[in-house]
Structure 1
Amino acid sequence: MNNTRLLAVVFAAASLGAVLPCSAYADDTPSPCASLKRIVAAAPDGLASWTPEDGKGVAQPYGDDAQCSASHRSFQCTWTPHGDGGSKLDALQAVAADIASCLPDATHDQNSPGRQHFYLGAKGRRTDITLTPAGANQLRLVVTGK
């Protein structure tokens, strides 16, 4: 096949890919970004309107048993990381990396094996995001508004 013909085939394949919907693969994992952004957008005053189901998208890539709750100025989820994701501390680092990439305006002011902390907003209208180990094998994400 000559180069001109090869380029035509490649171009046709690329064009077809642009008009067809994307394929999903078995190893695709959901991104927690949409849930994180919605939670942060609701903070600091609107967290009480959240239901336990609303925040499970944050934990979904990492665990299937998320238990979430909300109050006026706080939203929290606790879950058990999947066994194939390494240790609980590996999962803590992975969730922190997602928070950092999903919320680029957040300040990551504590990065330790036992606690990840981020904040957004000015003093008086600040949203804190804290991720910590909980118990023997769980993680806890807490979003609070001040």
Structure 2
Amino acid sequence: MKSTLRGLMFVAASAALAWACLSTPGIALADDTPNPCDALKRIVAAAPDGFTSLRPDDGKAVAQTYGRDAQCAAKARTYTCMWTKASDAGSATDALQGVAADIAACLPEATHDQNSPGRQHFYIGPRGQRTQITATTAGAGKLTLAVSGK
């Protein structure tokens, strides 16, 4: 009887602990940084509405690995982010290649039609309805991502 009671108490305590863990809001951990794939997908999905559903901060996760000061805005059916290359990101060309690799990995349906040291270009969709994705270097230490849609 005593062991049965002890077992029931253990089950009840375990259930209470599990409920507390599931119902408590998540705690921010070091690996909770914004995901560049989520940001890229959100930006591309917003192209048909002229990016009106995006906020300036929505694109910052794309740049986060390569720089911390991204400034993003939607204007004239283009969503643009510009940032200064982080000192640990290698050269601007290296950082640009990293951004292009992220785009290719996150958006497998995108066609990569230009790969040069200063410009990476992708598109998604048929001619006349394409979303264009362009990443470029802007001088020795700046990078730009521009996503435009029809």
Please give the range of the TM-score, normalised by the shorter of the 2 chains.
Answer: 0.7 to 0.9
Kindly report which structure 2 residues correspond to 1:27-106, keeping only aligned pairs within 5 A, or say none.
30-106=34-110
The question of whether the paired residues in 1 share the 8 Å contact of 2:104 and 2:110 is answered with: yes
User: Structure 1 residues 77 and 68, CA, compared in 2 at 3 Å: closer, same or farther?
Assistant: same
RMSD: 2.0
Does residue 120 in structure 1 map to residue 124 in structure 2?
yes
Q: TM-score, normalised on structure 1?
A: 0.77
Q: Match of 1:50, SS?
A: coil
Moved more, 91-100 or 77-86: 77-86
Q: Which has the higher helix share?
A: 2
Q: TM-score, normalised on structure 2?
A: 0.75
Q: Report how many aligned residue pairs link the two structures.
A: 123
Gaps of 5+ in 2: 1-28
Deviations 1:52-96 (A, max 9, x none): 111111111111100111025110000012111110100000110
- AA paired with 2:40? L
The Cα shift of 1:49 comes to 3.0
Sequence identity of aligned pairs in percent? 66
The residue number in structure 2 matching 1:130 is 134
Q: Match of 1:92, SS?
A: helix
Gaps of 5+ in 1: 1-23
- AA paired with 1:124? G
